[in-house]
Structure formats: C-alpha cells, structure tokens
Chains A and B, each alone.
Chain A
C-alpha cells in the first residue's frame, strides 16, 4: 500500500515574503499511522496542512499524498482529491450552523461520490453511517438532530472528528483541534480521535503547539519558529 504521505525538499514561501515560511527536507508517513506536528505559533503549521490538503502548492519540492503527486496537479484535481480522501478538522467552528449535527456529519458524502459510496458499503444508509461515526465519537443520540449551537465546544470538536471520518478517508488532518478544550476534554478527544483513526485505518496528521499531546502519535515532526532550519522526522 502507498504511504499516506511523502515529502521531498519542500519549501513554501507566502507571496511577498522574504523568507520561506516552511521547509521540509524529507518526510514519510506510512498508511494508517499518525504524525504529530509541533511548533510555536507562526511556525507554519497551518501552512503545511494547507499544502497537504492541496489548497496551497509548494514553491519548491514535491508532496505526495497517498498515491497522488499533489504538487503536480491542477487545482480542480486537488480539490476533488481532498473531497474524496481527506477529512479535515479545524481549531474551532467546524460545523455549519444551519445544518443539524447529523447533517453536518453526512456533508462529506454529499460532496464526494467516492465517500458516499464508501459510506454505503459499510452501512445501509448515510444516516446509519453517520450514526456509527457519532457513536464512535461518543456523541449522545439525543444531540444528533440538535442545532450545532446546542453543543458544547468539546462536543462540537468530536462531531467534527466524526465528520472527518465519514466515508473512510485515507487521511485525517487536524489543525490544533484541542486548543479550545479544557484538559479533561483534551484527553477524551485525543483518545477517541486517535483510537478511531486507528480503528478505521485512516492516517492522521495532527498539529499543535502543545508538546504533551505527542504521546498519542506514532511519529513527530517539529517545526522551528521562522523555520529556516528544519529538524527531520523522528519516530
């Protein structure tokens, strides 16, 4: 099986800036394993995730996600690839406030045929598939048809994780999803997220400035401030 991720001599520089925001010489993440990306604010963590998700293209170097050479593909192909293969979790406000909890969870299958079909291959309906994910992420059934605003921040983040896991994406990307949670919620969230990614076979790239979270992951990558010099990946 292809690696979840492989990067070679990557550099990214935001237009109009003096220095590279981000440089990574070499990085490889096997399918289904997890990577913790750590670095202080401004070190380019979100920039990296945008590159992995195919929203940005590298200034130099090569990114391959699954078997796709993302850095060489058109925007349309990259967007389609993201819809089909990547589950994304933001720091906060992940959910569309005008859809119910369960409709939010089903959304990836509405925007991607592939994830729609995959969801239906493991459950008899999209609703059942969403129910499975919500159950895995410990969201009480009473909340499934609520408005998003009825949920606590911790619950919202778990719903976002449930959504990211809909339709069995090969890669889940999370951009500091715990920074708005209190400590108990962080542990709880980390347990279910990493546990379910493993159970469902999705690779996980997780970004945080909080070094204590490293223990949940297979690999770790540290981005230095103003990351001109770059440490490699360790395992």
Chain B
C-alpha cells in the first residue's frame, strides 16, 4: 500500500523534530559501530604484528611487559640480556635463528632499534609475510640506517639522507648523538605494524653511538669520533630482547623452560600468541564495559525516539481522524506508527553507518599515526550485523507503544477529533 509514502510525508512535515530524533538514533548506533570497529581493528593489528617467531627472550620481567616493549614498542625494558647469554642461547642446537633487538634511543619520536640483518630475513608479520624494501637494501656499514615506511614518509627521507639519533625516547631530546650521523640505505614497504614506525640500525651502530657515554651521560672531554669508533670492538655488552625461531615447534616449550631456568642470569621467554591471549583477557574487561555502555546508549536512543513519537501523538489526532474517515482501520493507525518507528530505526541505522564510516575515515589517519592501528572502513562484523538486524526489528516493535495509544485514541475520537 501507500502507507510508507504517507509515513514518510508525515515525517517530512515534522522534519525538524524528525531529523533531530534521527540524529539521536544515528549517533547512538554510530557509537556502537565505532567502538566495535576499534575493538576488532585493535585486535587484528596486535595479532598481525608478529608471526613466525616462536619465542621472545628478554631480561626477567612480566611476560606482557616483554611482549609490549619488544614487539609493540610500548613501554621500556627494565633488564637486558648480556651478550654472553645471548651468544649461549644462539648456540643451542634447537634454535634455528635469532634476531637480537637493542632498544632505548629514538629519532624525532620514532624508536631506534639496533639489530642484525637477520631482522630483515626472519621478522614476519600478518600471515607469515616477510619484510620487503621499497628502496635500498639492508644496512651494511655501522652507520647505515633502514627506515620504516611511515618514518620515511612523514619525515620525508630519501636514500642517502643523513640523520642523527637522540639519546633516550623523548620526542624532543636535547641530547643527540650528533657526532655520529647515520645514512639512509634502505626504506621498508609499509606493513601496518610498528615496524613502519621504527628506525633500524646495526647493533654495532648502537654501541658506537655510546662508546663515549657512561651511565646515560656523555663523558666530557672524552670524545671519540665516528671513524675512531669504527676501529674499536663494537660488540655490544647486552641486548634488550631476542626473537627466536626454533628448528621444530615441538621444542618451543622445553626451550622456554630452559630459558626461564637459565642459571647465569634471570631471563624470561614468552610465546607471543599465548601472551597476546593474556593481553586480550586484560583488555576484554575494558572492551566489554565500553560495549555495554554503547548498548545502553543505543537503548536510550530508542527510548528517546518512542518518547518523541508519543509526545507528538496529541497534535496528530486530526491526522488520524482524517485517515479514519478515509477508511483506515484502527489497525492501520497502529501499523502507521509502528512503521514510523521502524523507519526511524532503518534510517537511523543507515545514517549511523554513514556517520560511523565518516568518523573512521577521519580518525584513521590520526589513529594510524599515533597508535599504529589501521582502522578499516568495512561492514560490521557478522555478530554485530545480527545485533543491528535485531535493533531494526526492535525499532518496529517499540512502535507498538505509540501505536497502541493512537489506536485507543482513534477509537475514542472516531471522526470527531477536535484538534
């Protein structure tokens, strides 16, 4: 029939109220959609950051902490691994490969990672994807540097450019290793992981930068030039963490136990996937709270919508009487109001989706830059789609409330509504 047209025309006639109501419904839904999207993308981003690594070894620390600083560049290491211990574990026959990581310096807010060329061979992300170069090659010289995609793009570095590393992790450090500049020899392809925001130098480069430093301060009057440093023994005293690949997955647990009971110094070894699960459990609490709040906001939106429809009924007695005179049954009047309520739901959902996508599109640049999380413009997850379908159904259903009132009203008014 033409009831949809009538309902739409009637809503359009009250468009200020209708649009505000629609805005309320849309806003509440877009909150739910956005919270869920951020949750999904955060998880995906964390899960995609590292693959193919069986164990991460660091100084004795909490497993979550070790995972966060070694892989996600969040937080700081409290203990390091001595070079001897590292060499020892590398020699273990069960170990296939190792990638040592030395953290603690930065370049204009981006973290500097001292490592070996093994990093470019063995580091994997997503579904076992390896790193690849968009230009240049792995570092070779002590003072070579390989940039993550974002670093190169944001700071506009090309191959051959020189850069200076700052001591410490602050964005604006006053203490620079400016006597030992590094040359850009490679730029990595974007990965959507913290690698994009990393500055990679050889372990020897890290050592060289610090030969004339002690306890975090530069020794006055005791300067060693870049070239002099090159001639020295640049084997580091320690590294911050080590990524380990086993020859066989089966050996992971026994090797992990071995590391955790290592006698020469206290060490920790973690399985990245298992530790990530711990992280989810922790984050899950906060996530659930957010989702619960979003649901309540959606319910509030629905209640607000019903209130608006109910409040408008009295003014619409005349409209209902005209429809009754034209042969509309009281059931039609009830249906008309359910339809109106449902239309708010459907239109609110569409507007909410658009709003949500708009927010994601705008926020993604900033979120990517600040948190390294790639927000995606996509349809909601299947579970959420079900919830949304339920929402639309509910939007029609709550129309029963004003519908019932209008039904009673039109029965008692008959054709003689006075307003």
Contacts and interface: CB of A to CB of B under 8 A. Distances in A.
Bound pair (A, B):
yes
A50 B414 contact: yes
Given A76-B329, A90-B325, A110 B13 contact: no
B1 interface: yes
Nearest to B413: A55
A163 to B, nearest CB: 8
Interface string A77-89: 0011011101010
Contact of B415 (A84, A90, A93, A111): A90
Contact of A111 (B12, B13, B328): B328
Interface stretch (A94-102, A128-136, A194-202, A212-220): A94-102
B416 interface: yes
A93 B318 contact: yes
Given A46-B416, A110-B1, A83 B9 contact: no
B326 interface: yes
A108 B326 contact: yes
B388 interface: no
Nearest to B321: A90
Contacts of B322: 90, 93-96
Contacts of A97: 13
Interface in B1-46: 1-2, 6, 9-10, 12-13
B218 interface: no
A222 interface: no
B416 A82 contact: no
Contact of A88 (B1, B325, B329): B325
Contacts of A80: 327, 329
Nearest to B325: A88
B329 A79 contact: yes
Given A94-B322, A98-B12, A98-B13, A84 B327 contact: yes
Most buried by B among A56, A84, A93, A112: A93
A55 B2 contact: no
A82 B414 contact: no
B60 interface: no
Given A50-B416, A55-B414, A88-B415, A82 B327 contact: yes
Contact of B326 (A46, A75, A88, A98): A88
A95 B322 CA distance: 7
B324 A55 contact: yes
A98 B415 contact: no
Nearest to B15: A98
B161 interface: no
A79 B327 contact: yes
Contacts of B175: none
B319 interface: yes
Nearest to A98: B13
Contacts of B1: 110-111
Chief secondary structure at chain B's binding surface: helix
A98 B327 contact: no
B414 A56 contact: yes
A46 B415 CA distance: 8
A53 interface: yes
A143 interface: no
A170 interface: no
A98 B336 CA distance: 15
B327 A83 contact: yes
Contacts of B321: 90
Interface in B303-349: 318-319, 321-330
A50 B414 CA distance: 7
Contacts of B414: 50, 55-56
Nearest to A82: B327
Contacts of B328: 79, 83, 111
Interface string A105-119: 001101110000000
Nearest to B416: A46
A201 B324 CA distance: 24
A112 B2 CA distance: 11
A193 interface: no
Interface string A148-190: 0000000000000000000000000001000000000000000
A110 B2 contact: yes
Contacts of A110: 1-2
A37 interface: no
Interface in A49-72: 49-50, 53, 55-56
A47 B330 CA distance: 18
Nearest to A55: B414
B329 A112 contact: no
A131 B416 CA distance: 28
Given A50-B414, A93-B318, A98 B325 contact: no
Given A96-B319, A98-B10, A98-B12, A107 B326 contact: yes
B415 A49 contact: yes
A86 B322 CA distance: 13
Contact of A175 (B12, B329, B415): B415
Contacts of B329: 75-76, 79-80
A97 to B, nearest CB: 6
Nearest to A80: B327
Contacts of A90: 321-322, 325, 415
A220 to B, nearest CB: 22
A49 B329 CA distance: 17
Contacts of B326: 82-83, 88, 107-108, 111
B17 to A, nearest CB: 13
Given A82-B325, A82-B326, A99-B9, 4 more contacts: A83-B328, A111-B1, A111-B323, A111-B326
19 contacts: A46-B415, A55-B324, A56-B414, A79-B329, A79-B330, A80-B327, A82-B326, A84-B327, A86-B327, A88-B326, A88-B415, A90-B415, A96-B319, A98-B12, A108-B326, A108-B327, A110-B1, A111-B328, A112-B327
Closest 3 A/B residue pairs (Cβ): A83-B327, A98-B13, A88-B325
